[in-house]
Amino acid sequence: MMQTNLLKRFTIYSRRVPSAQSNSQNIRNKNNLKNNTMQFLGFHGAISNADYFGIQLAPLEKELERDQAASFHFMNAPILGDPPYGVEKYFGNGPYRSWFCDGAVGSRRMLERVRDMPTGDNSEEIMRKLRGKRQAGAQEQLKDNLKEVMDSIYATLKENPQIEGVIGYSEGSCLAASLILDEIRREQETGQARQIKCAIFITGWPPLASNADFVLSDESALKIDVPTLHIVGANDPYKHGALAMFNVCDENTATLFDTGKGHTIPRSGRVIQELGDAVREMIGSTRSQTVC
């Protein structure tokens, strides 16, 4: 059975949370929250920024704000750039920021390659074809880039210990998933306690390992072991990236939510209330796992 059929079998519920203003750490936050409000650190997609991600999530945030189920905080990516030619209107207002850069140029840039997605028998094969061969030095540059981004996130988390969840869109989902795997690695190597207890992935791509390569379920034993909610559109031309990420997560705590749309963030209609309920359900599952 093709993996795309997975999306036909799931519909779930979720809710919404409050947002915030930027501080010196490029994080936007909100005070006066309930003690049990789940606070999420948000990572925008490529060629975007924290303010625009906040606008994209505003309807869901308003829904979750009704009972203070969750709160969103947003970071800005470090790399400035421009949208690919011809699709500027899809990326909102600048400044345009991205999390990752492997030094590739022209048609070798990931943002250019995804416009012509390869085909394959499963999501993992498609991701391998998309990854392809990187230009000389690109792997090391991406590895250094990933480490710098992780260091910045860890500094932000240290200053904001109340944050226990992550939410990402597209490239930001890849980063959020990569963070969870890196926390697992760090705990195993140093004993450092993990901070992130759940995650919301809106579309996305498989996580990156510390060597900056895709983590794929048929190549690696690494698993995202916290409750996760995967918001995917059955009509998303890049849905195999999100499905490859889903396959890296614990099947007992990972949930697919099909918006029936494309590579977009839900912003109106009944789906917002349903999505809000799904977020609440995931938070409830997270809380039940962390109670001693």
Q: Which of 170, 173, 178, 217 is catalytic?
A: 170
At 12, is the secondary structure helix, strand, or coil?
coil
More confident residue, 36 or 99: 99
Supply the pTM of this predicted model. 0.85
**Residue 21: beta bridge partners?**
29
d(CA 273, CA 16): 8
User: What are the Cα distances from residue 52, in Å, to 13, 97, 115, 207?
Assistant: 24, 11, 22, 23
d(CA 71, CA 75): 14
Question: Nearest Cα to 246, choosing from 286, 275, 283, 207?
Answer: 207
d(CA 45, CA 12): 23
Q: Which of the residue ranges 29-38, 225-234, 274-283 would you say has the lowest mean pLDDT?
A: 29-38
Question: Nearest Cα to 256, choosing from 269, 267, 245, 264?
Answer: 245
pLDDT at 200 over 90: yes
Beta pairing, strands 254-258 & 228-232: parallel
More confident residue, 222 or 116: 222
Backbone conformation region of residue 260, classed left if phi is above 0, alpha if psi is from -120 to 50, else beta: left
Domains within the chain, CATH numbers bracketed? 37-290 (3.40.50.1820)
146-170 mean pLDDT? 97
Strand order in the sheet with 38-43: 21-22, 27-29, 70-75, 38-43, 163-169, 198-202, 228-232, 254-258
* Summary mean pLDDT of the chain: 84
pLDDT at 75 over 80: yes
What pLDDT is stored for residue 54 in this prediction? 94
User: What stretches of 4-47 adopt beta strand conformation (E)?
Assistant: 21-22, 27-29, 38-43
pLDDT at 28 over 60: no
Q: Which of the residue ranges 95-99, 133-137, 272-276 would you say has the lowest mean pLDDT?
A: 133-137
189-201 mean pLDDT? 98
Q: ∠ CA(18), CA(231), CA(107), 5° rounding?
A: 110
pLDDT at 88 over 70: no
pLDDT at 32 over 60: no
pLDDT at 101 over 80: yes
For tokens 């999420």, name the residue: 40
More confident residue, 184 or 117: 184
d(CA 142, CA 82): 19
Contact yes or no for 201/230 (Cβ under 8 A): yes
pLDDT at 14 over 50: no
The amino acid at residue 182 is D
- Catalytic status, residue 170: yes
Question: Nearest Cα to 200, choosing from 218, 173, 164?
Answer: 173
What pLDDT is stored for residue 87 in this prediction? 61
Contact yes or no for 28/22 (Cβ under 8 A): yes
**Residue 18 pLDDT grade (very low, low, confident, very high; cuts 50, 70, 90):** very low
The amino acid at residue 263 is H
What pLDDT is stored for residue 173 in this prediction? 98
Percent of all residues in the chain with a pLDDT value above 70, rounded to a whole number: 79
At 132, is the secondary structure helix, strand, or coil?
coil
